[in-house]
Amino acid sequence: MSVDHVAIIGAGIAGLTAALALARHGISSEIFEQAETLAEVGAGLQISPNAARCLDRLGVLALLESQWREPQQVTLASGISLRTITGVPVGEARRRWKAPYGVLHRATLQTALTKAAADAELVTLRLGQRIESPAALRHNAERAPDVIICADGVWSRSRNWIEGAPKAQFSGNVAWRFVVSAEDMPAFFNRDHVSALMGPMAHVVAYPLRDVGGFNIVAIASGSNPGKTWTGEAHGSWRRAIDSYFSDWHPALQRLFASVDPVVWPLYEVGNGRWHNGRDTVLIGDALHAMMPFSAQGAAMAIEDAFELAAFLAERPAAEAFTAFEAHRRPRLQRLARRTGLNKFAYHARGPFRVGRDVVLSLRSPASLASELDWLYGYEAYGLGNG
């Protein structure tokens, strides 16, 4: 049976991208979102070339390019001395990987995807719809769906509709996020770079947000679970983190950290399990494979998932499409998970390992570091060649 109509749970990056990708293949969809309005929490994100290529094909990239910034380099530096260790020349992305590398506020991407979905004749966005079961979904749908895509994030409820689906677990790490005005940002932060400052058991990433006129900063270290929240108050946990993990960092960073009041995000990971029920329901995005943000690929993988699943559904019946989708995607996600684990070890290295890391990285040329990312950033998503 061909797939003509799809129900999507969740109007985040994965869900909205899925709807647009399906519409590109002539497949209609209804997106069910429990929130009454689509209001993204304040945070930045990085869109690497592998995702930008998909967004371009969906007609969304042009809406972003006028608002985002394309950094010249991802710089790795010491949070203790501020010494630059090495850098990846992402400013060459358009030449090397045939698509741009951009940084922007999450709300900017959400707005662009929402606008594109609203303009698409084959997409219906239904807000304020909390769907508790497949039966309730079919009862509320305007049309009986051939497929259900569960795209409701790391704390997915619809994931429970698939027996043996993966589970979300707290990673033991938290992210403290805040935005600092350009005027208040220490001078050593390059306005044209993504800066990753590394220290024992913690790291900080900072980059400029053209669309909000400031710098997005995220600090990641071990911490207690604040619960399932994107807006948790971080007063006590941030103070303890400064004392525990950032006490030896450069004085300029210490002053910056003391002046802000971030929100705290728990970092959850989603483990192994079934991707689909073999009939009509499938997981994508963070609902399927949320991982630590040490490769800055959360949004990119959600976009790739959505784009490729739509291509498979356009070619074959649902059950066959799910099997092909999983066989195609799983090796890539497993490779990314390994890379993410390696990055975590490098970013949070202590003692002799930190010294060795700095020596090894300092000997690497920017070109060699970029070549290690060709498999990730140069990836051509399945379906890009169609239309």
Q: Say if residues 367 and 88 touch (Cβ distance below 8 Å).
A: no
Residue 253 confidence (pLDDT): 94
Q: Say if residues 118 and 100 touch (Cβ distance below 8 Å).
A: no
Residue 381 confidence (pLDDT): 98
CATH dotted code for 5-168+269-377:
3.50.50.60
Residue 358 confidence (pLDDT): 84
Query: In the numeric block, which tokens belong to residue 348?
Result: 């949070």
Full-model pTM: 0.95
Residues of the chain with pLDDT under 50: none
Query: In the numeric block, which tokens belong to residue 90?
Result: 């992402």
Residue 349 confidence (pLDDT): 85
Residue 79 confidence (pLDDT): 94
Residue 350 confidence (pLDDT): 84
pLDDT per residue over 266-282, tens digit each?
A: 999 999 999 999 999 99
Domain positions in the chain: 5-168+269-377
Residue 372 confidence (pLDDT): 95
Residue 60 confidence (pLDDT): 97
CA distance linking residue 117 with residue 126, whole number of Å: 11
> Nearest Cα to 311, choosing from 54, 25, 120?
25
CA distance linking residue 220 with residue 205, whole number of Å: 9
List beta partners, residue 169: 269
Residue 363 confidence (pLDDT): 84
